Amino acid sequence: MTTLKIGDKVPDFTALDQEGNTISLADYKGKRLVVFFYPKASTPGCTAEACNLRDNYQTFQTQGYEIIGVSADSAKRQLNFKNKNELPYSLLADEDKKVIEAFGVWGPKKFMGREYDGIHRTTFVIDEKGIIIEVIGKVKTKDHTAQIL
């Protein structure tokens, strides 16, 4: 599904976070970055994934990683999700799906026999130069940190 692969340069992006701050790829220049895309804030799988990353946030920090979560939820919904789960990283409210489409994670999905378009749960690990070093398409929500590190 994903069009980006290991070795690709990350598409430049700019979007608003849960508090209306402008976040762009340039803000993370020279840093390692984990960008995880999730279908919907406050749903069981997305909460498990976000909390697994939260619980291991210090480990990511000591290894030089920053984390950004992205979904098509509104800023208000992202803020509620962040506050309720005490997430220490930014969540992008990509309502116009510009970042989601730039990373190629929007497309047909199936759930209970029904087909629809949505966000494919995918994580990108990016090096200091903005190059993708890992793409995780089969995310284990409860043990996502182990997949990344």
**Least reliable range by pLDDT among 11-15, 60-64, 106-110, 128-132:** 106-110
For range 62-81, the mean pLDDT: 97
| Pair 34, 125: CB distance under 8 Å | yes
Q: Could you tell me the pLDDT band of residue 2, with boundaries at 50, 70 and 90? A: low
Distances (CA, A) of 68 to 6, 34, 83, 113, 117: 19, 6, 15, 31, 23
| Pair 86, 54: CB distance under 8 Å | yes
Look over the chain and give the mean of its residue pLDDT values, rounded to a whole number: 95
Express each pLDDT in 101-141 by its tens digit.
999 999 998 878 889 899 999 999 999 999 999 999 999 99
| Pair 67, 100: CB distance under 8 Å | no
| Pair 96, 63: CB distance under 8 Å | no
State the catalytic residues.
Answer: 46
- For the chain, give the percent of residues with pLDDT over 90: 91
Backbone angles phi, psi at 57, to 5 degrees: -60, -40
At 142 the pLDDT is 95
CA 132/CA 129 separation, integer angstroms: 9
Paired residues of 119 in beta bridges: 106
At 1 the pLDDT is 55
Kindly state the DSSP code that residue 38 receives in the 8-state scheme.
-
Q: Is the pLDDT of residue 95 over 80?
A: yes
